[in-house]
Structures are given as C-alpha cells and as structure tokens.
Amino acid sequence: MNSVEIGCIGEDSVCAYLIKMGYEIVERNYRIRGGEIDIIAVNSDYIAFVEVKSRNPHSMVGGFEAVNRRKKGLIIKTAEDFCRKHPNMLQPRYDIAQVTISGNRVIGIDYIQNAYDTTDFL
C-alpha cells in the first residue's frame, strides 16, 4: 500500500470519528497555492481545521511531531482563505489527528482538539 492510500484510509477514519462526535464534514483536501487542509468540519460551536497524519505502529516520527511550525503556518494561511471565501460565525480551531494503521486496518486514532493556535503566527 502506498502513502496516498494510507493517507486516504486515515482521513476516512477521522471523518467517521468526527461524524460520530457530532460534526459535519464540509470539505476535504481544501487546497490553495502553498497549503492544504485535510478535513474541515463544523458543529454548533466550532469550525475545526484538521490535519491528519497516518503512521504505522513502528514509525520513527509520530504524527503529532510531524506537524511542525512551518506546516502549522501553512494550515493557518489556508484556513484564513477558506474563512474569507466561506464566512461563518463559528470559532476556528486547529486539531491534529494521528492515525495508526497496520496493513490496511486502522488500529488507533489519537485526536488533539485545539492542538495549536494563531498567536505565534500573527
């Protein structure tokens, strides 16, 4: 299985997780020049911009560590573009999901709500 297929399995599983938690998925793989957001989901209070990192159980670098300062900045820039094009009154939130995959099976999802904010990027 290649990395694109692994990524799709991870994103699909996080979408299912979010739906179970009462979110509606409004966009997947939202792209602008220089940035991408894996999942954009909303509930009654938040618009969540979710970065999904899929890993096998023996990866040297975990999914949370892979979302570095540069990546966070690109996600924030992309989220700002989305909000300009799709105005809303919801509180934005930046989440990270780490999906552990063995073979073609998801064996775990670790999810951090509000993993970072924009204060260091203004």
For the cut 90, the answer to whether the pLDDT of residue 27 exceeds it is: yes
The arithmetic mean of pLDDT across residues 16-39, rounded, is: 97
The arithmetic mean of pLDDT across residues 44-70, rounded, is: 93
Query: In degrees rounded to 5, what are phi and psi of residue 23?
Result: -95, 155
The arithmetic mean of pLDDT across residues 41-53, rounded, is: 97
Q: Could you tell me if 33 and 78 are in contact, meaning their C-beta atoms sit under 8 angstroms apart?
A: no
pLDDT given at position 5: 86
pLDDT band at 122 (very low <50, low <70, confident <90, very high): low
94-121 pLDDT per residue, tens:
999 999 999 889 999 999 999 999 987 7
For the cut 90, the answer to whether the pLDDT of residue 49 exceeds it is: yes
The arithmetic mean of pLDDT across residues 35-61, rounded, is: 94
For the cut 90, the answer to whether the pLDDT of residue 59 exceeds it is: no
Q: How many CB atoms lie within 10 A of CB 89?
A: 5
CA gap 76, 2 in Å, rounded: 28
Q: Could you tell me if 83 and 92 are in contact, meaning their C-beta atoms sit under 8 angstroms apart?
A: yes
Q: In order of start, what are the domains of the chain with their CATH numbers?
A: 3-121 (3.40.1350.10)
Specify the DSSP element, H or E, that contains 113. strand 105-116
Half-sphere exposure (Cβ direction) of 121: Cα atoms closer than 13 Å:
17
Predicted TM-score of the model (pTM)? 0.94
